[in-house]
């Protein structure tokens, strides 16, 4: 763990309520903002799962007006953001509530700032490009992985270029997160695995990030420990609240870490892959992880050793060099136990895709904090090794 206090580091997280039934606090928080009309952002899946009805009933019980926007798709597009901002403007809403996984929450963040800044969402690409804060934003996450409910990140797909871009700004940190762990029980085994691996990659990339700090490190390590113990169990027992609570806690802690220490090469490559070929974000991360560890290892061996020791406590300091292989092997075993026992090639990625994928990945803001400098050739190599 980093014990160097000579670098100044800030740590930003919003107010949050964590635990079963937190969703029922939505109306209370809307009232606290003295808002008159809610712009409610979600996707069609949340209606099927029953959580949207619970939220609507909660708002109705306090006579709160709302407009429902459920046109968000996985890997949310800039066109969906612009459409949402237009409806929000027309309906004169004064608060945004997002219910769902990363896609509705990222879309809600982007809709809100697009409305207040009155510019196309593409103008926010990069770090600190948001000028005016959005409307008050309450997030209710329904997956344990993305942490968009507490993070400074939103990922939007440029539909013309089929490229994901990151908006990174403290002005898009939600005002309140209502983290109701019950909502994760309706995730399928596949979604449980993918989102859990997303949380693991958040924690690992934040821990080895060159913007990490003692406080992000503590959160990252605890998140990894919880994921090792609880992810296979949650995958096998979808309704077990002990595993679900622990996975949501792991996601939250990983979110604290990555929102403040940022990410790295896995996410840069995953954004390119998901944006180009429309694969699920967590799945992309899972399939790229070992390849990037192998590339990065010599730039942060002690940090990767710390992570390897969480998987294999018998490792001692003389095993520093072998930690690379041990860690990759342990991650492979974890992935096998949750059904992620395939490669990029198995999902249709071809050698001919790699040049374009690497050209998009090298433009990604997450590379700024990767522990090792990367060039186009090294990114191509990492994709190749993950095929």
Site string for Fe ion, 200-239 (x = CB under 5 A): ----------------------------------------
Q: Which is nearer to Fe ion, 198 or 380 (CB)?
A: 198
Torsion of Cα atoms, 83 then 85 then 86 then 87, to 10°:
90
For the CB of residue 20, give the shortest distance to Fe ion in the complex, in Å: 25
> For strand 37-41 and strand 65-69, is the pairing parallel, antiparallel, or unpaired?
parallel
For the CB of residue 240, give the shortest distance to Fe ion in the complex, in Å: 24
For the CB of residue 102, give the shortest distance to Fe ion in the complex, in Å: 7
| 3-class SS of residue 30 | helix
Q: Please check whether residue 367 is in contact with residue 374, taking contact to mean a CB–CB distance below 8 angstroms.
A: yes
Q: Which is nearer to Fe ion, 281 or 309 (CB)?
A: 281
Beta-carbon contacts of 93 under 8 Å, excluding residues fewer than 6 positions away, are 37, 38, 39, 66, 67, 135
**What is the CB neighbour count within 10 angstroms for residue 265?**
27
**Assigned token pair, 119:** 């510019």
| 3-class SS of residue 137 | strand
Q: Which is nearer to Fe ion, 99 or 148 (CB)?
A: 148
Cα separation, 271 vs 360, in Å, equals 9
Q: Which of 2, 149, 198, 205 binds Fe ion (CB under 5 A)?
A: 198
Q: Please check whether residue 40 is in contact with residue 198, taking contact to mean a CB–CB distance below 8 angstroms.
A: no
Q: Which is nearer to Fe ion, 38 or 247 (CB)?
A: 247
Q: Which stretch binds Fe ion (CB under 5 A): 65-73, 134-142, 193-201, 363-371?
A: 193-201
Q: Which is nearer to Fe ion, 180 or 198 (CB)?
A: 198
- Residue that is written with structure tokens 């690409």 in the block: 125
Widest CA span in the chain:
64
Q: Which is nearer to Fe ion, 198 or 283 (CB)?
A: 198
Q: Which is nearer to Fe ion, 283 or 306 (CB)?
A: 283
Q: Which is nearer to Fe ion, 23 or 227 (CB)?
A: 227
Q: Which stretch binds Fe ion (CB under 5 A): 81-89, 190-198, 216-224, 301-309?
A: 190-198
For the CB of residue 201, give the shortest distance to Fe ion in the complex, in Å: 6
19 φψ region: left (φ > 0), alpha (ψ -120 to 50), beta (else)? left
* 364 near Fe ion, judged by CB under 5 A: no
Q: Which stretch binds Fe ion (CB under 5 A): 127-135, 192-200, 221-229, 235-243?
A: 192-200
For the CB of residue 281, give the shortest distance to Fe ion in the complex, in Å: 6
For the CB of residue 74, give the shortest distance to Fe ion in the complex, in Å: 13
The count of residues interacting with Fe ion (CB under 5 A) is 1
Instruction: Please provide the distance, in angstroms rounded to a whole number, between the alpha carbons at the two ends of the chain.
Output: 32
Q: Please check whether residue 52 is in contact with residue 42, taking contact to mean a CB–CB distance below 8 angstroms.
A: yes
For the CB of residue 93, give the shortest distance to Fe ion in the complex, in Å: 28
For the CB of residue 267, give the shortest distance to Fe ion in the complex, in Å: 6
Q: What is the DSSP letter of 297?
A: G
Q: Which residue is nearest to Fe ion (CB)?
A: 198
Q: Which is nearer to Fe ion, 246 or 251 (CB)?
A: 251
Cα separation, 24 vs 39, in Å, equals 17
Q: Which stretch binds Fe ion (CB under 5 A): 10-18, 37-45, 112-120, 194-202?
A: 194-202
Beta-carbon contacts of 329 under 8 Å, excluding residues fewer than 6 positions away, are none
Q: How far is CA 363 from CA 97, 164, 357, in A?
A: 31, 10, 10
Which residues here bind Fe ion, judged by CB under 5 A? 198
């Amino acid at each position: 763990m980093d014990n160097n206090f000579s670098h100044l580091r800030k740590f930003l997280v919003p107010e949050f309520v964590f635990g079963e039934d937190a969703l029922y606090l939505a109306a209370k928080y809307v009232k606290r903002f003295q808002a008159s009309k809610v712009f409610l952002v979600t996707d069609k899946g949340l209606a099927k799962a029953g959580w949207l009805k619970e939220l609507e009933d909660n708002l109705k019980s306090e006579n709160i007006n709302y407009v429902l926007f459920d046109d968000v798709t996985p890997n949310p597009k800039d066109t969906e953001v612009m459409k949402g901002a237009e409806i929000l403007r027309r309906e004169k809403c004064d608060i945004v509530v997002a219910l769902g996984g990363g896609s509705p929450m990222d879309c809600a963040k982007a809709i809100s700032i697009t409305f207040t800044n009155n510019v196309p969402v593409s103008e926010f690409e990069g770090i600190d490009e948001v000028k005016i804060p959005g409307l008050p934003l309450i997030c209710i996450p329904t997956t344990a992985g993305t942490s968009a409910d507490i993070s400074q990140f939103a990922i939007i797909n440029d539909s013309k270029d089929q490229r994901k871009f990151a908006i990174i700004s403290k002005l898009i940190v939600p005002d309140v997160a209502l983290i109701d762990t019950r909502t994760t029980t309706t995730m399928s085994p596949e979604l449980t695995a993918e989102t859990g691996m997303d949380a693991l990659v958040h924690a690992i990339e934040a821990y080895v990030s060159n913007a990490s700090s003692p406080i992000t490190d503590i959160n990252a390590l605890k998140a990894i420990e919880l994921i090792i113990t609880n992810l296979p169990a949650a995958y096998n027992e979808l309704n077990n609240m002990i595993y679900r609570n622990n996975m949501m806690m792991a996601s939250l802690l990983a979110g604290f870490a990555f929102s403040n220490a940022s990410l790295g090469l896995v996410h840069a490559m995953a954004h390119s892959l998901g944006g180009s070929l429309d694969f699920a974000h967590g799945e992309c991360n899972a399939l790229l992880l070992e390849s990037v560890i192998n590339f990065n290892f010599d730039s942060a061996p002690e940090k990767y050793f710390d992570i390897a020791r969480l998987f294999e406590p018998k490792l001692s300091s003389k095993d520093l060099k072998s930690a690379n292989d041990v860690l990759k092997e342990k991650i492979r075993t974890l992935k096998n136990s949750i059904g992620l026992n395939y490669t990029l090639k198995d999902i249709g990625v071809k050698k001919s895709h790699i040049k374009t994928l690497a050209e998009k990945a090298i433009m990604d803001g997450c590379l700024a904090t990767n522990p090792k400098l990367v060039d186009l050739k090294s990114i191509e190599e990492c994709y190749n090794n993950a095929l």
